[in-house]
Structure 1
């Protein structure tokens, strides 16, 4: 009888531990990143009633993220959602997943194609960074009147050339490099004459961008006709600096900037953060490119649920490209009512 009681206790204990660990790990590169904090919330909301998630913060450390992944794989987790600290680290993550026969869904930072293709249980969900650059250029086209040879009032010095600065994310970061390169190439393709005053590195961070923009204002002041930012957080940092310098100012205190009669420097971001949309409403920021985290979150949960339950991927509501990729399109936003 005593042996039976011990056996029942062990069975109960083991089943309880298994139930406790019955979650899908969501491993974020850094929860201090404004976009990722918002994105994590949307993924968690999309998971409600479908799967159980548990979020892990890598604290912008690849070492910490590696430790998290190894620990989870050793505990028997067979599906992991990973937002890499460094996209090049995906190779090591994939090799670990192979060892434990686990499925890895990478999000937001795309691994190298050869790494992703090396394992049948590795996937990526995100947006094409080149698309955001193209759409930023389309907003510039709209902003300056759709005629590169006859710029409108936003050409402050009336020289037919757009004097611009770019706030770039991390040096070497795939999305930052592609977004920056593509927007310049697209502006050239559209026929705009551009004077690139400077590319300042803001590390995707509001405070860093604020500091860098203050330096740009000291150097170029009223010469700046346009700010293109690799993300909304840096765009907001730039806005703070321009408002502090009174280069963007609501003179009549009506809570909206009139760019024709009030001091204004157009700023275009990327991400579609709620706070950026508020600034678009008041015309303090001209526009942003929506990184559609709502649909991305839905795609992540749908894919991981299908893989976890051995459902047919042919039934996904999102298109699976090359049996590896789900691409969620960007969208232009200059009017939050749209």
Structure 2
């Protein structure tokens, strides 16, 4: 079901919620849906985009339906212990729904058990819990995108460029694509799958590749800059492609190249994931050759639809398209300079 088709359905669900909360009698207080949102790290560029979209959509939904949507945003600053405490606080405050972007995807069981004991539905997003943990309760859900698909599309961007103009990427003319890999958080599912499938896409298409180096930069732009500086000192212009598990690290690689005095034409072929606003600017500038849109607005809309339905005791499937009764999957989309206009905000 498309997002365009889901919205009328979600509006009907929320209308039913309003009736349940306050009835039709005039003069009653505006009903409030209280949602606790726990983030692994609020300064993460993609997450900040999701939160911004969520708040914008919530304001529009409030105005359309006469309901108050109260979002309490908490930043765990990469501490699972802090996030667990934040969930406890949300429950004590009487939140109707809790949304969690996990610090540690293997630590969901504790949070699910807390929510179940309190009878409060929980929506995980962007960092997928272990399936066994999500299955612990029928009121636990996940909103996100399949990480292997991001890797495939990222690899396809490079593959298309290789097939279109091999000489432009194969600077040393050896017929082998030499690359470095900026990885996200060690052990993180998205980092592992994006890393695996971007390269697999090339090798399955018959492209010979050579990994010069790979290392974690923990999704962070500054760390990626330091990694890239080290690799430039070691490998110099033999680096033909930079794969990055997210856009912030890709931008960090660009920062290092520019600090080393490279011109745009001298940059390696750098690709990221997320299609954040700064990344789209870099694609427009030609320094970032491509990215893969991780649909922040789509995730926000699905989260909001789920929250409205669950807060009113409605069936989640009446508001969103669920797979296996638990999952809302959004599609990734490859972004290059050729289709960039489709992803830029409207003027």
Tell me which residue corresponds to 1:86.
104
Tell me which residue corresponds to 1:311.
314
After TM superposition, the score normalised by the length of structure 1 is 0.86
Worse-matched range after superposition: 163-172 or 150-159: 150-159
- Give the match's secondary structure for 2:169: coil
- Give the match's secondary structure for 1:56: strand
The alpha carbon displacement at 1:152 in A equals: 3.1
The 8 Å contact of residues 33 and 311 in structure 2, kept in 1 or not, is answered as no
Q: CA–CA distance in 2 between the matches of 1:20 and 1:310?
A: 14
Tell me which residue corresponds to 1:241.
256
Q: CA–CA distance in 2 between the matches of 1:22 and 1:269?
A: 36
After TM superposition, the score normalised by the length of structure 2 is 0.84
1:66 aligns with 2:84: yes
- Give the match's secondary structure for 2:334: strand
The 8 Å contact of residues 79 and 304 in structure 1, kept in 2 or not, is answered as yes
Tell me which residue corresponds to 1:27.
38
- Give the match's secondary structure for 1:323: coil
Q: CA–CA distance in 2 between the matches of 1:324 and 1:235?
A: 32
Q: CA–CA distance in 1 between the matches of 2:133 and 2:81?
A: 19
1:130 aligns with 2:111: no
**Aligned equivalent of 2:330, options 307, 328, 331:** 328
- The aligned runs of 1:1-338 (5 Å cut-off) are 23-48=34-59, 49-50=61-62, 51-146=69-164, 151-247=166-262, 249=263, 257=264, 262-316=265-319, 318-335=320-337, 336-338=340-342
Q: CA–CA distance in 2 between the matches of 1:314 and 1:70?
A: 27
The alpha carbon displacement at 1:45 in A equals: 1.2
> How many equivalent residue pairs?
305
The alpha carbon displacement at 1:20 in A equals: 11
Q: CA–CA distance in 2 between the matches of 1:129 and 1:143?
A: 22
- Greater C-alpha Rg: 1
Higher helix fraction: Structure 1 or Structure 2?
2
Residues 274 and 68 (structure 1 numbering): CA distance in 2 closer, same or farther, change over 3 Å?
same
The 8 Å contact of residues 246 and 263 in structure 1, kept in 2 or not, is answered as no
Greater relative contact order structure (CA < 8 Å, 6+ sep):
2
What's the CA shift string for 1:191-248, capped at 9, x where partnerless?
A: 110001011211100000000100000000010000000000000000011111123x
The alpha carbon displacement at 1:92 in A equals: 0.4
Q: CA–CA distance in 1 between the matches of 2:308 and 2:296?
A: 18
Q: CA–CA distance in 2 between the matches of 1:136 and 1:53?
A: 34
Unpaired stretches in structure 2, ≥5 consecutive residues? 1-28, 63-68, 343-347
What's the CA shift string for 1:268-296, capped at 9, x where partnerless?
A: 00010111111111111101001010111
Runs of 4+ displaced beyond 6 Å: 18-21
The 8 Å contact of residues 164 and 198 in structure 1, kept in 2 or not, is answered as yes
The 8 Å contact of residues 145 and 152 in structure 1, kept in 2 or not, is answered as no
